[in-house]
Amino acid sequence: MKGKWFGGGAALVFVAAAVLLFTGIGSGSAKEEKKNSMRIGVLLYRGDDTFIGTLRLSLEERAKEYEKETGIKVTLDVMDAKGSQNTQNNQVERLIGLECDALCVNMVDRSAASGVIDKAMAADIPIVFFNREPVEEDMNRWEKLYYVGADAKESAVLQGQILVDAYKKNPESLDRNGDKTVRYVLLEGESSHQDSLIRTEWSIQTLKDGGVPLEKLTGGIANWERSQASALMDQWLKEYGEQIELVICNNDDMALGAIDAIERNGYLIQTIKVVGIDGTPVGQEALKAGKLFGTVESDRIQYAGAIFDLAAGLSMGEKTDAPKYYWSSQKPLTNGRELLEN
Amino acid sequence: MSNREKVLWCTAAGLLVFLFLLSSTDLIIKEKKREVYPISVIVEDTNDEYYANFKKGMDKAAEKYQADVNFITLYQADNEEEQMEMMQREIKDGARAVVLAPVNESGSIMRIDEISPNCPVILLGSTRVNDSVAASISVNGYETGRELAEQAVKEESLDNPVWIFTEGLSYTGNTDLYDGVRSVLDEMGFSYRLVERKNEDTYRQAIEETVYPDARQAAIIAMDAKSLDEASDIIGGSTVYAEHVTGLYGIGCNTAILRKMDRGLIKGIMAVNDYDEGYLCIRTAVEAIQGMWLREQMFMESYYITGEDLRERRYEKLLYPME
C-alpha cells in the first residue's frame, strides 16, 4: 500500500515537473547571449522645466556616444508626465509593457515612488531615479534601485559662498544703501521637493556664518517656475521697492523670473543682485549679460552620464558595484567682471 | 484506502493540475496577442527641437494604432550617409515601417531603391512616391513659398531688397520653396539675394552688411525653421540690427520661434499643423503595414500666422496642441 502511495506521489511529482517545464518556471535565464541593443525608458516630471530639459538633451547625447563607442543600439523612450503622478504611473506601465531594460525616473511626487517600484520589481526592471529623490525606505526596498542627483546642501553652500565672497570684497556690492544690513527676498522651489528646504536653509546659514548681516523682507514658493517667480517679484517690488537689495533663488529659472520683473518695473538690473542655482544655459547667458549675479553649475554632462551609464550597465545585465547614491559635482559661477569692478 | 478513494484523490490532483494550466498558462486557453507594430521615424536633425508637436501627434497615433515608435535623430545634422545607415539598421532590427525625413530627397530615394527595403517607407517633407516609397507627406512647397512672399511684400517697401536665408537648396523641399518665393518677388519687382548657410557666421555676416560698410535696410525671408531661429537670435541680440532689418518672415515654428514672434522679432510665419502631420505619419505607416500599399502623395495645409494671431482660438490648437 505504502509503495503504491509512493508511486502515486512520484506520478504527481512528475506531472508537476512537466508543468514547470511547459510553463518555463525555473528554466533559468535564457538571456545569456550577448545583447546588441537596449531599451531605456526615461520618465520626466515636467519636460518644460529648463534644468530637466537640458538634462534630457545630455542624456540623449550620451546615449548616442555610447552607441558609437560600443555599437550597441540604444532606444531611449522619453516621456513627459507634465506634473501628474497619475500620468507618470501610466507611463511606467506602458514602458514596462514595451519591455524596457531599465527605467530612469524623475518622480513627480517623490513620496509616491513605492507604486513605481512595485511595478518595476514585478517586471524585474531596475530603476535609476534622478533629480527628485525618493524617501530612504523606498530606496532600500530593492537592490536594483539607484539615485543620481546633485547634493542640495553643497549647492546651497556654494551659492551662499558667492555672496559671502562678494560682501567681503566690497560690502556695498550687496548692501547698496550702506546701512550694514542686506535686505533680501527669497524664492523657493516646491515645498515637497527635498532640495527646496535644504537649499534655502544652507544658503542662508552660509551667509550668516560668513558674517553677512541679513534681514529677510519676505519669501514665497514659486515652484521652480520662471512665470510664478516673476509674478511674486512684481508684487514684492510694489510692496518693498528699493528696499530689496538681494534676491536669493532656489534655481535659475526663478532667478530669471525675478530678473524679468525687475526689468519690467524699470529698475536697473545691477542694483538688485539676483542669485540662482543649476547653471542652466539660459542662466549662464544671463550671467554673461550681467543680469544674474551668480549661480551654481551642476555638471550636466557628468550628471546625465552617471544616469545613463548606470542604466546602460544594468540593462546589459552587468554586475555593478556602483553605490546606491551618486552625487554629481558642482561649481560656483559668478559674473567675474562685476566682482572685479567692485 | 479503497479504490474509490484512490480514484477520487487522483481526480482531485488531476483537476488541480488542470486548473493551474488553465489559469496560469496559455497551454489550454490561448490568449489573443495584440499585434504591436514597430515603426522607426528617422529625422534629419540631431535632436527633436523642431519636432515637439510632431512627436505629440505621433505618440497619440502610436497609442491608438498600437505602434511602438522609435524616434531617431542623427549624430550629425543633415548627414545623408548616416541617415541611410540608420534606416538599414532599423530595417535589420525588425522595423515594420520607416518614416523618413530625408536630408536630400533625390539622393535618399536612389538609395532606398538600391536597398529595396522589405517594409513600407513613408517620406516626410517629400512629394515623391515610387515602388519603394509607400507614401509621402509634405506641404506644397511652391505654394507655401508664394504665400509667404505675398504676405511679406505687402509689408515691405520696393526700395529695400529681400534676403532669402536657407540651410541649403539641396535639402529636401527647399528648391520648391525658393521657386515659390522668388516667383512673387520677380512679379512684384523686388530685388533679392539668396544666402545659403555655409557656417555659423553666414547669417550674421549678411545681417551685418545692412550696417557696415553702407547703412541700408533689408527684409529677410528664412526658408526653414533653423534659419529663422538663428536669424531672429542675431537680430534680437542687437538693437542696431533691428533698425536695419525691416521685417523677418519665415517657415516653420517651435516654442522659441513663437516666443520671438510674440516679442515682435518675427513678423510672420508659415506654419503647418505638426501634430496632425505626426499623427498622419504613424497612421499611414500602420495602414501600409496592414497591406494598404498606398503610393500616395499627401499634402498638409500651411497657414500664414502673425504675432497678432498667436492668441486666436483657431490657431491655438495648431500652435500649442494638447497631448
pLDDT tens-digit profile of B207-265? 998 888 888 899 999 999 999 999 999 998 888 888 899 999 999 988 889 989 988 99
Record: contact A75-B75, CB cut-off 8 A: no
CB of A22 within 8 Å of a chain B CB? The answer is yes
Which pTM value belongs to this model?
0.78
Q: Where are the beta strands (DSSP E) in A1-36?
A: none
Q: Which of A23, A37, A68 sits opposite B93 (nearest CB)?
A: A37
Question: What per-residue confidence (pLDDT) applies to B155?
Answer: 93
Q: Is A2 near chain B, with CB under 8 Å? A: no
Confidence band of A130 (pLDDT split at 50, 70, 90): very high
pLDDT at B294: 65
Residue A26 has pLDDT above 60, yes or no: no
Within 8 A of B66 by CB-CB distance, chain A residues are none
Residue A1 confidence class, pLDDT cut points 50, 70, 90: very low
Residue A327: helix, strand or coil by DSSP? strand
* Interface residue A37 vs chain B (CB under 8 A): yes
Interval A154-182: pLDDT, tens: 999 999 999 999 999 999 999 998 999 99
The reply to whether A8 touches chain B by the CB within 8 Å rule is yes
Alpha-carbon gap, residue B227 to A253, rounded angstroms: 27
pLDDT at A341: 42
Contact A73 B93 (CB under 8 A): yes
pLDDT at position A31: 46
What is the pLDDT averaged over residues A78-88? Answer: 92
A82:B323 CB<8 A: yes
- Residue B79 pLDDT > 70: yes
Judged by average pLDDT, the poorest of A77-86, B117-126, B211-220, B245-254 is B211-220
Asked whether residue A121 carries a pLDDT value surpassing 90, the answer given is yes
Model confidence at A30, in pLDDT bands (50, 70, 90)? very low
pLDDT at B296: 81
Per-residue model confidence (pLDDT) at position B96: 95
Q: Answer yes or no: is pLDDT of B323 > 70.
A: no
CB contact under 8 A, B68 and A98: yes
Best to test chain B binding among A1, A4, A23 (most B CBs inside 10 Å): A23
Confidence band for A17, pLDDT divided at 50, 70 and 90: low
Residue B123 has pLDDT above 90, yes or no: yes
As a whole number of Å, the end-to-end CA separation of chain B is 68
Q: Nearest Cβ partner of B75 from A8, A22, A64?
A: A64
C-alpha distances in Å from residue A314, one per residue of A54, A193, A308, B14, B207? 24, 27, 10, 42, 51
B268 HSE (CA, 13 A, CB side): 22
Confidence of residue A205 (pLDDT cuts 50, 70, 90): very high
**Parallel/antiparallel/unpaired status of strands A294-298 and A330-334:** antiparallel
User: Comparing C-alpha atoms, which of A78, A186, A74, A200 is closest to residue A130?
Assistant: A78
Of B9, B24, B47, the CB nearest to A23: B24
The pLDDT assigned to B131 comes to 79
Q: What are the residues of chain B with a beta carbon less than 8 Å away from any beta carbon of chain A?
A: 1, 6, 9-10, 13, 17, 20-21, 24-25, 27, 47, 68, 70, 73, 75, 89, 93, 323
List, for residues A293-304, the tens digit of each pLDDT value: 999 998 999 999
Q: Of A15, A25, A42, A227, which to mutate for an interface test with B (greatest number of B Cβ within 10 Å)? A: A15
Inter-chain touch B93–A12, beta carbons under 8 Å: no
- What pLDDT band is residue A11 in, cutting at 50, 70 and 90? low
A 287-316 residues inside an 8 A Cβ radius of B: none
Q: Do A22 and B25 touch (CB under 8 A)?
A: yes
Instruction: Give A-chain residues touching B233 at CB under 8 angstroms.
Output: none
Q: Which pLDDT belongs to residue A24?
A: 47
Q: For B42-62, what is the mean pLDDT? A: 92
pLDDT of A340 reads: 40
Which of the four pLDDT bands, split at 50, 70 and 90, describes residue B311? confident
Within 8 A of A16 by CB-CB distance, chain B residues are: 17
Distance from CA of A195 to the nearest CA of B (A): 29
**pLDDT by residue (tens digit) across A308-324?**
999 999 999 888 788 99
Question: Residue B86 pairs with which residues in a beta bridge?
Answer: none
Chain mean pLDDT for chain A: 88
**pLDDT at residue number A102:** 97
Nearest residue of A to residue B82 by CA position? A68
Residue B161's pLDDT is what? 94
Nearest residue in B to A64, CA atom = B75
Task: Look at residue A196 and give its three-state secondary structure.
Answer: helix
Please give the C-alpha separations between residue A244 and each of A82, A228, B9, B87, B204, in angstroms, as whole numbers. Answer: 34, 18, 86, 58, 39
Percent of chain A, pLDDT > 70? 88
Predicted confidence (pLDDT) at residue B98 exceeds the cutoff of 90: yes
Average confidence (pLDDT) over A250-258: 95
Instruction: Taking residues B120-140, report their average pLDDT.
Output: 88
DSSP-derived 3-state class of residue A132: coil
Per DSSP, the three-state class of A31 is coil
Q: How far is B118 from chain A (nearest CA, A)?
A: 21
Rounded mean pLDDT of B23-30? 74
B164-176: average pLDDT: 91
For residue B106, the model assigns a pLDDT of 87
Size of interface A-B (CB pairs under 8 A): 30
Q: What is the pLDDT of residue A33?
A: 59
Least Cα separation, residue A173 to chain B (angstroms): 28
Mark which residues 133-152 of A lie under 8 Å from B by CB.
none
User: pLDDT per residue over B280-308, tens digit each?
Assistant: 999 999 999 998 766 788 999 999 999 88
Identify which of A107, A101, A112 has the alpha carbon closest to the alpha carbon of residue A130.
A107
- In sequence order, which residues have a C-beta less than 8 Å from that of residue A195 and are 6 or more positions away? A152, A155, A189, A250
Q: Is A23 on the interface with B (CB under 8 A)?
A: yes
Q: What is the pLDDT of residue A28?
A: 44
Q: Is the pLDDT of residue B1 over 80?
A: no
